[in-house]
Amino acid sequence: MLGAMVTFGLLLSNCQENEQPITNPIIGEWESPSGQPFIQLYLEGNEKSPTEFGMEVFQLNETDARIFMENYLQNQVLGPINLSGGKILIDGNSSFRTLGSEDSLEGVWSLFNSDSRLRLKAENLLLDQYDFDILTLNSKELELKFDAYFELIGEGENAVHNFKVLIKLIK
């Protein structure tokens, strides 16, 4: 009987040593795909470049439209995710840091809504937090969506615009 208990204990011990720890697939170093834009911008369901978006919605010239929309996307939508394609390292202790850009940044991340949304928070950003819908999350690909609308109030005319931003990152 004692021999059977010792053998069972050894088997249980060996099983536990061979098991791999369960890791959340969001943990790791994420970056934009090489040679491909990692964001797609949609206005009323139609894909637009930041310049086209700014020209169409805000009636700006080409240069001002590009500058305005790049600033808007970085500060109001992407936050800690660098528009110019920097890397972000998400670790297992709920913190993240950006890599490869001059302005590195550290903050905290969390998943919520049954792990269907990602929240990034860091100091010294325009907004307190940046929330994204998770469209795809596996060991190699992270696809996020920011979906919103804004209202332009003008002289005699108001306009509401629906827009979304898709962000694709890979490990």
* pLDDT tens by residue, 63-108: 999 999 999 999 999 999 888 777 899 999 999 999 866 678 899 9
Q: In angstroms, what CA-CA distances link 48 with 55, 123, 135, 136, 169?
A: 10, 30, 20, 22, 19
Provide the pLDDT for residue 147.
95
Whole-angstrom distance, CA of residue 135 vs CA of residue 22 = 21
> Could you tell me the residue ranges of all domains in the chain?
26-170
pLDDT at 84: 78
Place of tokens 């470049």: 49
Output DSSP code: residue 19: P
Class of domain 26-170: mainly beta
Measured in degrees and rounded to the nearest 5, phi and psi for residue 94 equal 65, 25
Q: What is the pLDDT of residues 29-53, one digit of tens each?
A: 999 888 777 899 999 999 999 999 9
pLDDT in the model for residue 18: 56
Secondary structure letter of residue 55 according to DSSP:
H
Residue with tokens 């394609």: 85
Q: Please name the helix (run of DSSP H) or strand (run of DSSP E) that holds residue 136, with its range, or none.
A: strand 130-137
Look at residue 19 in the predicted model and tell me its pLDDT. Answer: 58
Can you give the pTM of this predicted structure? 0.82
